Amino acid sequence: MKVLFDKLKPYDYAAVVYSLIMGLIILIYGGVEGLYGYNLLALLAYIVFIILIAYFFDDKKGLRRFIRITYPLFSFTFLYEQTGQFINLIHQGYYDNHIIAFENMIFGKNPTILLQSISFRPLNELLYFCYFSYYFLLIVLGLYLYIGRKYIDFQKMITAASIAYFISYTVFILYPAEGPRYALAGYYYMKPQGYFFVPLVNYIINLGGLHGGCMPSSHVATAVVSTIISRRYAKKLFGVYLFLSIGLTIGTFWGRFHYVSDAVAGIIVGIFAVWLAERSFVWLKFNSYEKSSLSEEGRG
């Protein structure tokens, strides 16, 4: 057993803990029959998969290392889609009224309504492009770190992204919110217009967005993770990532996908995720082990 625990990485622990929490939520509020039972089995299978990957795939070289340290990137979509099935498992309604009342108290009127007056095509395109950049921020940064043989830094990115996603997915279920494009639909007198990225992003969101997965903004959280990691370990990318992340954050409420509060919550989640990821490497004594097994090869 000790050998197995020694092989687990911080991102493995994050995935196992999240799976156990989700399994507990499903078990308590859904039970074990039908769809709930299938998803419990899926989560159990995911934990077994993590254990098998950890035990049989080392992270020293070649394809085995690639699979070992990149598998979380390929599991986020599965877990995201699973979350969508349980948005209303605990709460049958949505909490948009809380967020709207809070923002009205601060701004006088919801910012997504106020921003209509300054919406114009070139600016819409820019902000929607930044929003679209979410889909490649982690991939490009990951490739930069991996190709540069910065394997420890790559795994810190993976760990921070995992924590940010798992916190977001959990809160989606605990505090479901539709977002302003649904809850405030009757208050808009126009739709943001654009040339390419506006219709593209709207198509993607309509096709795969979670209805009710609004608070916090996981887009903003992972953008913050990417930006901080780039600042620390990929400085050549930092300027671009900072620009894209600022535009993405504004784009979340500019496009009415999120409230301003969601974006702020996403920033907090992202900062916390990086802090916890960095600390987990110290707590689990991961750095000392990795430096003896990866860094030397990384310099080779």
pLDDT in tens, 133-179: 999 999 999 999 999 999 999 999 999 999 999 999 999 999 999 99
286 is in which domain, residue-wise?
2-298
- The DSSP letter of residue 150 is -
| Per-residue confidence (pLDDT) for residue 134, from 0 to 100 | 94
Greatest extent of the chain over all pairs of C-alpha atoms, in Å? 62
| Per-residue confidence (pLDDT) for residue 84, from 0 to 100 | 87
How many residues are there in the chain? 300
| Per-residue confidence (pLDDT) for residue 292, from 0 to 100 | 37
Angle (nearest 5°) at CA 226 between 58 and 272: 90
Q: Which residues contact 248 (CB under 8 A, 6 or more apart)?
A: 130, 131, 133, 134, 219, 220, 223
Phi, psi of 69 (to 5 degrees): -100, -5
Q: Provide, rounded to the nearest whole percent, the portion of the chain with pLDDT above 70.
A: 92
Point out the least confidently predicted range of 15-19, 59-63, 103-107. 59-63
Q: How many domains does the chain have?
A: 1
CA atoms within 13 A on the CB side of 288: 5
pLDDT band at 8, cuts 50/70/90? confident
| Per-residue confidence (pLDDT) for residue 235, from 0 to 100 | 94
pLDDT band at 210, cuts 50/70/90? confident
| Per-residue confidence (pLDDT) for residue 286, from 0 to 100 | 64
| Per-residue confidence (pLDDT) for residue 244, from 0 to 100 | 97
Dist. CA 138–CA 231, nearest whole Å = 14
| Per-residue confidence (pLDDT) for residue 297, from 0 to 100 | 44
Q: What is the mean pLDDT of the chain?
A: 89
Mean pLDDT of 107-124: 92
| Per-residue confidence (pLDDT) for residue 63, from 0 to 100 | 85
Neighbours of 288 (CB within 10 A): 11
Q: Provide, rounded to the nearest whole percent, the portion of the chain with pLDDT above 90.
A: 69
